[in-house]
């Protein structure tokens, strides 16, 4: 299908919802808006705007999706970052076309049944569209190359390792001149999907010696300092010699913080797009059919060479059937464009583009929406 002629995308933020749309002249925007994938992408564009609500962790990725969708289909995407719980509730209530969540629909909480009812008796699908690595960020003068592993990180947050020249850290960094500086751990004091996934990683990669779980951080008594939000924990690390934290990649990059390599048993692995893509490609799917719920333990416990394992993902929750025809067409077009979103812009925002093998699974599910 030939790309529609269009104009430059503009962004308007109103009432907490992101709206991106096409406007202007052909002369202002090159074909595809700078994303080469859009030029040849075959999409049957709908005639309706697409609405979504939920996870704030994926908000910047949805910005990229929405810009490309506006360029390709000349329609808007209205996304409200209200948190995963509210996104699921808005979706099951039929208030939005898709919900954004850092966890798949829960059968235990009744979300699976509620979503099916909203979808006219048809199952809703969890589609993992957004992957963002979590950096182990640090501030240690004179140290620009640092390797840690899950056991050491867990012991730091349990209060068992308190100095940067601890023998356990030195063993992972032979030849490095590590100072006898106190380690100052920071963690999220608010409920956080990043915390939940970080604790799942520690529990999996340490073989269960880390017992904390959930969105509230559960380190050792009196260990570390809590800060609200990713911005505050990263700024605190920036301002504190000897500091350490877990934070989304974009925050560590934007502040120029040190980022530790992770050794899962096969040698140090740097946080790069390529190394995170290896983790995503190896992820196991535990949903049935086109319900693509990711078994995160298959990423967190991956000990293969070159795999960076600390990754969180968010889902777009959609109806498999049950939309009116035009809404179905628009949702499918939006998700198709999202799967082909501009990789450079995603990486600049701290996310990793879907690797080809995983993208194929997502697109098969998108194409099956009816």
Check whether residue 105 and residue 162 sit in a common domain: no
- Is residue 284 included in any domain, yes or no? no
Structural domain that includes position 21: 9-132+313-368
Mean pLDDT computed over 237-263: 96
Q: What percent of the chain has pLDDT over 70?
A: 91
Same domain for 146 and 192: yes
Average of per-residue pLDDT across 217-243: 96
Domain check: are 254 and 348 in the same one?
no
Each residue of 146-168: pLDDT tens digit? 999 999 999 999 999 999 999 99
Residue set of the binding site for phosphate: 55-57, 84, 102, 192-194
Residues annotated within a binding site = 55-57, 84, 102, 192-194
Q: Among all chains, which residue has been given the structure tokens 């008594």?
A: 221
- The residue from 247, 276, 305 where one domain ends is 276
The answer on 210 and 113 residing in a single domain is no
With respect to residue 291, please indicate whether it lies within any of the assigned structural domains.
Answer: no
Q: Decide if 107 is inside a domain.
A: yes
Q: What is the pLDDT, as a whole number, of residue 110?
A: 97
pLDDT (mean) for 170-178: 96
Q: What is the mean pLDDT of residues 217-228?
A: 96
Considering the domain architecture, whether residues 111 and 153 belong to the same structural domain is answered as: no
* Phi, psi dihedrals of residue 315, rounded to the nearest 5°: -115, 145
Give the Cβ contact number of residue 208 at 10 Å. 9
Across residues 179-194, what is the average pLDDT?
93
Q: With cut-offs at 50, 70 and 90, classify the pLDDT of residue 19.
A: very low
CATH number at residue 336: 3.40.190.10
Check whether 16 has a pLDDT greater than 90. no
Domain count, the chain: 2
DSSP structure string for 62-124: HHHHHHHHHHHHS--EEEEE--HHHHHHHHHTTSSSEEEESSPPPTTTTHHHHHHHHTTT--E
pLDDT in tens, 266-295: 999 999 999 999 999 989 999 899 999 999
């Amino acid at each position: 299908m030939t790309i529609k002629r269009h104009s430059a995308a503009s962004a308007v933020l109103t009432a907490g919802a992101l709206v991106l749309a096409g406007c202007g002249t052909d002369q202002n925007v090159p074909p595809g808006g700078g994303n080469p994938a859009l030029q040849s992408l075959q999409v049957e564009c709908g005639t309706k705007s697409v609405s979504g609500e939920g996870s704030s962790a994926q908000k910047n990725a949805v910005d990229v999706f929405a810009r490309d969708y506006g360029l390709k289909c000349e329609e808007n995407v209205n996304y409200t970052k209200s948190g995963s719980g509210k996104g699921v509730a808005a979706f099951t209530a039929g208030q939005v076309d898709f919900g954004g969540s850092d966890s798949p629909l829960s059968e235990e909480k009744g979300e699976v049944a509620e979503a099916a009812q909203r979808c006219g008796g048809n199952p809703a699908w969890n589609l993992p569209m957004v992957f963002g690595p979590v950096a182990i960020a640090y501030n240690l003068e004179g140290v620009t190359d640092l390797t840690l592993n899950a056991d050491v990180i867990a012991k730091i947050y349990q209060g068992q390792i308190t100095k940067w020249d601890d023998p356990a850290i030195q063993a992972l960094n032979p030849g490095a001149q590590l100072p006898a500086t106190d380690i100052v751990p920071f963690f999220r004091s608010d409920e956080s999907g990043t915390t939940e996934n970080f604790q799942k990683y520690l529990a999996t990669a340490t073989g269960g010696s880390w017992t904390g779980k959930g969105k509230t951080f559960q380190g050792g008594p009196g260990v570390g300092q809590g800060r609200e939000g990713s911005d505050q924990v990263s700024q605190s690390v920036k301002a504190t010699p000897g500091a350490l934290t877990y934070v989304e990649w974009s925050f560590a990059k934007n502040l120029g913080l040190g980022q530790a390599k992770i050794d899962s048993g096969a040698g140090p692995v740097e946080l790069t797009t390529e190394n995170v893509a290896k983790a995503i490609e190896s992820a196991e799917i535990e949903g049935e059919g086109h319900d693509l719920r990711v078994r995160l333990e298959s990423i967190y416990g991956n000990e293969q060479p070159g795999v960076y394992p600390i990754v969180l993902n968010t889902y777009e929750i959609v109806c498999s059937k049950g939309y009116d025809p035009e809404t179905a067409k628009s949702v499918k077009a939006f998700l198709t464009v999202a799967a082909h979103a501009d990789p450079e812009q995603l990486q600049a925002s701290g996310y990793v583009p879907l690797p080809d093998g995983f993208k194929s699974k997502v697109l098969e599910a998108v194409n099956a929406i009816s």
